[in-house]
Chains A and B, each alone.
Chain A
């Protein structure tokens, strides 16, 4: 597209703005800025729901003998007499995991920030296809609605864990949640995969085709690199989950035997023969492990950008950062078996997965060292976003290190599926990614809404949350080392755990503190949306070009021509330049004093 036609499009958008109705502006919008807000608000609501669920089951785990009458008020028959029902406990665990992994950290994180930042940071008027983008959101919304609906049906939601291993998830005789609840789960997931694929294709195409003049791939901010790699991971792995879910649907509804064989349940043998439950696990984790990086990479991308900007220092090893993300992404496709060391998989195959899994630690270590090197001799503005980004790095280290233990099959035997794993992935994947998301929200809130979030509440939110996270998940490792399995409603059946289970009390207390702290964020978010201070043009003195667009966000993003880019995004505190930042739109010819050898061609 020539500049002339771009200008024309922008102009056209301006004129249209007068004719926008409520429906085209807020509901069926094709504008990437509005769609990103839709994703964010939906994800926040889903996150609050999933977090409240976790608080309900933490009450059960922390105070198993205590009755909480309010549970009966809110849960009805699932909380009779103030005691949480054991099958609903499993339902809560399942839906908490599903919502957090897919709806908050995949749909919410990528949907919000890929949508917001890709067009803004590559210098595009909008996504390559606004219509597909709108469709992506509405598929996502539909899948959220179906998933929430599964919570309020007679037989209860899917309750075989978020990994929905058959035969448990295939047989309503095995658990009530595998009836209609599981059907709704699968329907919701099919919609979700549709959303993820539509979004992903759009992100990749936009980054490849719609970069502004001068925006070469090596001038892209790390956010964009992270979002692009994430989108490619999603495009390659989600179809496999789709296939796995489809086959499960066939087994459930049409009597096929892809995953089922030799089953005797409910007093009778079933007709299934020749299938393998392990096949499902292979298919599931072929998505499932890249999924971990689909969750984590965008968060790392957001953190890289925030850390560099707020450190007032270029990100250390820009190319190594990209390289390590590419290596992580590649490796993520050949490590899935480490979720399956003790399924009866051939031990030699297990050995191969140990090797590939532990290799992931190398690019991860490079990323951590690069973050630390970026902070060294920096001039760090400790904004709430920066604190959250640093929190992410802290969790990425803590959780990554315990991953070395879990990835080693000989050590995994005794901690597989117990609380050590729960602690590990809540830190490295859950908390890291959610901190990346918070960093993103605090940092780009002014770009989204033209207003600032309240910084004091931001600080309060950060300190209570990091305290809550470490207070919850650090002691949880020891529950695992004591041998306590996960997904247990109570630990009454074996007295050997009595001492260790006392830690649960402490864990639950921290979890509740951390959980309640999130309401500070929710209040701050919605209040600032309408009543926050008006933002300045470039509140964080950032180099990237999204801050050159009008604060209030117009259709087409920039009035007139899209700015041309002359340099990489990390020229912070360059010697010889007066300001501590040089925006990407500043040509080298204007910064003669600070140019390095070879920069001014």
Chain B
């Protein structure tokens, strides 16, 4: 099937080129003094009608495709703010859809209706200040309305996370994400890129008491109806944490902490029912080109009921397993006082890059 299509395209292309050259040669053979390259009434009629057909079939096709394409769209938003932005998005679409249809009808319609006729003369109409005033003012008012409402949403979404939010770090690197949960103290232990080792992939400070109960996971589990405060880090290039089903996105930028907050409202199990797809899963995608395997960089996201979340969370491992990581006194650097001493400890691993 695919091969066939490719061949059809290639054959059509060859035919087109052959025809094109043939037409040119025929025109050339006809000779004459150049008049047949003037635009004739016949050309105007033919292309005017094509404009009309293109308008009708084009708009028809677009409307049909839009209705048909609903099945491709993201399911209902699984976050609180996403429901609002979705509604606002569809209001925007309604507005621009109407403007689009009217202006395209006028554009192509005028092209057909006012196509050149030798007997006609165009209406000399260089300006009309009243008209221009109104069609500057009306879009202005509409846009101010959009700006005001859009910014209200934006401020709500990007405002500080509520005090009782659950704190989670999402840590991006080529080409995966890791989640670190803040644990019962709801505080994330410090981390720094120079503390990264094979065992400590996130470079978390072991000395920081806040890191004692931090847990890491390769899936992002979110308890439903709980405000989430997500801190985002990257250790190499810019990634983007994109949660399409939650209508949430924020870049992961090396050297900087970014954050987003949201409240998930629909569990994975519920969404499977809504989408009628027993295999449905939420996903976090990398949405900033980050290297060759960019297209494979993602993390499974699960929105759990509070009970399921507790059960899952219990099974996750601590960043520093108490038994494995308790350092022997000999392994400690002599002057180790605080976390920064780890820098010296790791310094043999620091390689001058150029």
The contact of B155 among A168, A347, A574, by CB within 8 Å, is A347
- When distances are taken between beta carbons in the complex, the residues of chain A under 8 Å from B127 are 316-320
When distances are taken between beta carbons in the complex, the residues of chain A under 8 Å from B294 are 90, 487-489
| Cβ contact within 8 Å between A482 and B146 | no
Say yes or no: B292 contacts A277, CB within 8 Å: no
Asked if residues A378 and B122 are in contact (CB atoms below 8 Å), the reply is yes
Q: Report if B256 contacts A (CB, 8 A).
A: yes
Are the C-beta atoms of A493 and B104 separated by less than 8 Å?
Answer: no
Within 8 Å of chain A (Cβ to Cβ): is B165? no
Binary contact track A264-276/B, C-beta < 8 Å → 1, others 0: 1100111101011
| A482–B69 CA distance with the chains assembled, in angstroms | 9
How far is the CB of B239 from the nearest CB of chain A, in Å?
Answer: 10
Q: Is the CB of B13 within 8 A of A316?
A: no
- Known contacts: A175-B291, A519-B13. The answer to whether A277 contacts B255 by CB under 8 A is yes
Contact between chains at A413 and B249 (CB < 8 Å):
yes
A32 to chain B, nearest CB (A): 26
In the complex the two chains form, is B292's CB within 8 Å of A478's CB?
no
Taking a contact as CB atoms under 8 Å apart, the answer to whether B290 and A478 are in contact is no
- B80 contacts A by Cβ under 8 Å: no
Q: How far is the CB of A446 from chain B (nearest CB, A)?
A: 9
- Which of B104, B131, B290, B297 is within 8 Å of A397, CB to CB? B104
Number of interface residues of A (CB under 8 A): 146
Q: Are A262 and B255 in contact (CB under 8 A)?
A: yes
**Interface check B331, CB cutoff 8 A:** no
The answer to whether A413 touches B85, judged by C-beta atoms less than 8 angstroms apart, is yes
Partner of B295, one of A161, A347, A488, A513: A488
Whether A312 lies near B352 (C-beta < 8 A) is no
Contact with B along A574-594 (1 / 0, CB 8 A): 110000100000000000000
Q: Is A330 an interface residue (CB 8 A)?
A: no
Q: Does A228 contact B (CB under 8 A)?
A: no
Q: Is B209 an interface residue (CB 8 A)?
A: no
Determine whether A243 belongs to the interface, using a CB cutoff of 8 Å to chain B: no
Q: Which residues of B contact A176 (CB under 8 A)?
A: 292
- Nearest-CB residue, chain A, relative to B69: A478
Q: Are B85 and A167 in contact (CB under 8 A)?
A: no
**Contacting residues, chain B, for A483 (C-beta < 8 A):** 74, 242, 244-245, 285
Give the residues in chain B near A343, CB-CB below 8 Å.
251, 253, 258
The residues of A that contact B326 with a CB separation of less than 8 Å are none
Interface residues of B in 220-263 (CB under 8 A from A): 232, 235-238, 240, 242, 244-245, 247-251, 253-259
Known: A397-B103, A410-B85. A312 touches B287 (CB 8 A): no
Which segment, of A181-189, A230-238, A523-531, faces chain B? A523-531
Q: Which of under 10, 10 to 19, 20 to 34, or 35 or more describes the interface residues of B?
A: 35 or more
Contacts of B196 in A (CB 8 A): 264, 269
Q: Which residues of A contact B47 (CB under 8 A)?
A: 382, 387, 459
Which residue from A366, A410, A482, A570 sits with its C-beta under 8 Å from B150?
A: A410
What's the least CB distance linking A209 to chain B, in Å?
29
Chain B proximity of A586: nearest CB distance (Å): 16
- On whether A313 and B236 interact (CB within 8 A), knowing A264-B193, A380-B115, A496-B281, the answer reads no
How distant is the Cα of A313 from the Cα of B123 in the complex, in angstroms?
7
Across the two chains, which residue of chain A brings its CB closest to B235?
Answer: A264
Q: Is the CB of B353 within 8 A of A271?
A: yes
For B34, give the chain A residue with the smallest CB separation: A533
Closest Cβ of chain B to A157, distance in Å, is 14
In the complex, residue of chain A having the shortest beta-carbon distance to the beta carbon of B120: A379
B residues 286-312 touching A (CB-CB < 8 Å): 286-298
Kindly identify, within residues 535 to 561 of chain A, every residue whose CB is under 8 Å from any CB belonging to chain B: 535-536, 539
A512 to B12, CA, bound (A): 11
Please, which residues of chain B bring their CB within 8 A of the CB of A354? 147, 150-151, 154
Which residues from B are CB-within-8-Å of A491? 295
Give the distance to chain A from B57, nearest Cβ to Cβ, in Å. 10
Could you say which of A11-19, A212-220, A357-365 contacts chain B? Answer: A357-365
Known contacts A90-B292, A261-B254, A379-B120; A474/B62 CB under 8 A: yes
Nearest CB on B from A74, distance (A): 14
Whether the Cβ atoms of A516 and B12 lie closer than 8 Å is yes
A466 x B54 contact (CB < 8 A): yes
A379 touches B121 (CB 8 A): yes
B194 CB–A CB distance under 8 Å: yes
CB contact list, B115-167 vs A, under 8 A:
115-117, 120-128, 131-132, 135-136, 139-140, 143, 146-147, 150-151, 153-155, 157-159
Measured in the bound complex, the distance between the Cα atoms of B135 and A275 in whole Å is: 46
Is A26 part of the contact surface with B, judged by Cβ < 8 Å? no
Q: Mark A452-469, 1 if CB is under 8 A from B, else 0.
A: 101111011001001100
22 A-B pairs (CB sep. < 8 Å): A66-B3, A68-B6, A255-B354, A263-B255, A276-B255, A317-B127, A344-B251, A347-B155, A351-B154, A358-B146, A358-B150, A376-B125, A379-B114, A379-B120, A408-B92, A410-B157, A414-B244, A466-B54, A483-B74, A539-B38, A573-B124, A575-B124
Residues of A whose CB lies within 8 Å of any CB of B are: 63, 66, 68, 86-87, 90, 160-161, 165, 167-168, 171, 174-176, 253, 255, 260-265, 268-271, 273, 275-278, 311-320, 342-344, 347, 350-351, 354-355, 358-359, 361-362, 365-366, 368-373, 375-383, 387, 390, 393-394, 397-398, 401-402, 404-405, 408-411, 413-414, 416-418, 452, 454-457, 459-460, 463, 466-467, 470, 474-475, 478-479, 481-483, 485-496, 499-500, 503, 509, 512-513, 516-517, 519-520, 523-524, 527, 531-536, 539, 570, 572-575, 580
